[in-house]
Structure 1
Amino acid sequence: MQQSNGYIITFSIILTVVLGLLLSGTAEVLKPIQKKAEELDTKKQILGAVISSDEIGEMKPEEVNTYYEERIASKVVNIEGEEVEEQDGATVTAESVDIERNYKKAPEDRLYPVFIYHEEGSEDDIIAYIFPVYGSGLWDSIWGYLALKTDLATIEGVTFSHAGETPGLGARITSPDVQERFKEKAVYDDEGNLVSVKMQKGEGKDYSEDPHKVDGLSGATITAQGVNNMLSNYLEHYQSFIKKEKGGNPELAALK
């Protein structure tokens, strides 16, 4: 039986509303699950700067959470290196800072999380300081975590991620073998000037004797340059904190 246009339109509207409510309800139900998954992934990225990806890969989600709670302390600072505990009447934690949203602000207006990797059961026995970094690759955003040893000058490790770099080319910044190149490199020169560490153009050269250079990514020069800019920019932003941390520790203060 042929239905009137009014019936068809009414039926379509009702169907659209019902489906919309179902989708909205499903999204609300899944939101806490999605949030927990994102938090877990972030913890893995932070820990990935100080322990191997193989070790993290063997951990169950609850083991990652437990390890993080036992071995990571955190704080938030501003560009002057001053600790920030509250903003706009709300408590601020390193885990609550949205790095992507902060990146859209002027550097002097951002919040800067600091994650501190320490011995189990002793926050005073620091192993490394971990700093979030954020920037732009060839096609979209890139980000990661840079860990410095307790001298705050030597790289303990890095993890990098991306939103849309080319598979097999720029996307290789996520591979352990590329990230391994940054370990033990120095971010200051012999005079104590911040020089960061730079991926070079091309790939296949040995930079093991150069403390400030790592091999590049063949066919991904722009992504590599994005990584370089990301590291140097955020190291500069954390300089006040690093100097304060060294100044408050006689052993570190003696280091360049």
Structure 2
Amino acid sequence: MAKNKDSIQYVFTVAFAVCMVCAIVVATSAVVLRPLQVENKALDLKRNILASAGLMEEGKSVQELFASIETRLVNISDGQFSTDFDVDSFDAIKAVSDPKLTDPLDNATDIADIKRREKYAEVYIVRGANGDIEKVVLPIRGYGLWSTLWGFIALEKDFNTVAGLGFYSHAETPGLGGEVDNPKWKAQWPGKRILNEAGNLAIEVTKGGQADADSPYEVDGLSGATITTRGVDNLVQFWLGDNGFKPFLDHLKTGGA
């Protein structure tokens, strides 16, 4: 007997079959594409590390350029290179949300508004032909207006001069706080100094339009994005300060890391 295509049972049966087919297709696609997504994410991270250090070159692939970069694990508290974990399998992003691998921050210390600071971080070393460190790239993060900004700051071999800065993930307002991605704004950073002659942290992101163009320490903030500007200033101050990578940089300067 022919089925009644107008019956509720038939409609539900067809709808259920369509849903099952779609679910299978979506699930299969997710499983199949997952390795590619992971690979693309890792490639994008490498690209941002290279870009922050000014190492991108026309005609060369990201993988080719990154092959010359040495990835090391650092214990942030004591500023020493660490072998507590295998750096090739260490997941720095997951470590940020692992209570066992982070320490809580009090309100006075937590100027970057990150709540907890990881105990270990991956840093990226660029060496010259003689084996000496030419640049070091440090991971940075902190809260802006709407989101946590994740990025890198690269330093020259004196460990006091900025080689570049860039963010690879954030959700700041396009045209305002989102201007942290503007090449013109990022172009202010190379050449700026972290510490003044007295050895005190002096680098600063000012309000938009208020930076002294002749100052080796001041970076002009983002016009119309006061909170994001303050967030960037705070995260830079935190990660280059005593509770961030200052112990590590001090060790590098003396060859003790």
After TM superposition, the score normalised by the length of structure 2 is 0.82
Residue 26 of structure 2 corresponds to which residue in structure 1? 23
Task: Quote the Cα distance in structure 2 between the aligned partners of 1:173 and 1:26.
Answer: 34
Instruction: Report the aligned-residue RMSD.
Output: 2.4
Q: Secondary structure at the match of 1:112?
A: strand
Q: Percent identity?
A: 31
Deviation of the 1:208 alpha carbon: 2.9
Matches within 5 A, 1:81-100: 81-87=79-85, 91-93=86-88, 96-99=90-93
Q: Secondary structure at the match of 2:229?
A: helix
Residue 224 of structure 1 corresponds to which residue in structure 2? 229
Query: Among 73, 76, 80, which residue is 2:73 paired with?
Result: 76
Task: Quote the Cα distance in structure 2 between the aligned partners of 1:135 and 1:217.
Answer: 16
Deviation of the 1:69 alpha carbon: 0.2
Asked if structure 1 preserves the Cα contact closer than 8 Å seen for 2:71 and 2:87, the reply is no
RCO higher in 1 or 2 (8 Å CA, sep ≥ 6)?
A: 2
Matches within 5 A, 1:124-139: 124-139=131-146
Decide whether aligned partners of structure 1 residues 176 and 23 sit closer, same or farther in structure 2, where only a CA change above 3 A counts.
Answer: same
The one-character-per-residue Cα deviations of 1:83-115 (angstroms, maximum 9, x if unpaired) are: 23344xxx233x843347516743554321110
Task: Quote the Cα distance in structure 2 between the aligned partners of 1:36 and 1:108.
Answer: 27
Task: Quote the Cα distance in structure 2 between the aligned partners of 1:82 and 1:100.
Answer: 21
Q: Which runs of 5+ in 2 are unaligned?
A: 104-115
Residue 152 of structure 1 corresponds to which residue in structure 2? 159
Residue 253 of structure 1 corresponds to which residue in structure 2? none
The one-character-per-residue Cα deviations of 1:112-162 (angstroms, maximum 9, x if unpaired) are: 11101223x65x132111101011121112121111111111111111234
Residue 115 of structure 1 corresponds to which residue in structure 2? 124
Asked if structure 2 preserves the Cα contact closer than 8 Å seen for 1:148 and 1:154, the reply is yes
Deviation of the 1:164 alpha carbon: 1.6
Decide whether aligned partners of structure 1 residues 216 and 100 sit closer, same or farther in structure 2, where only a CA change above 3 A counts.
Answer: farther
Instruction: Report how many residues are paired.
Output: 236
Matches within 5 A, 1:210-249: 210-236=215-241, 237-248=244-255
| Runs of 4+ displaced beyond 4 Å | none
Higher share of residues assigned helix: 1
Q: Which runs of 5+ in 1 are unaligned?
A: 250-256
After TM superposition, the score normalised by the length of structure 1 is 0.82
Query: Among 189, 192, 195, which residue is 2:196 paired with?
Result: 189
Q: Secondary structure at the match of 1:11?
A: helix
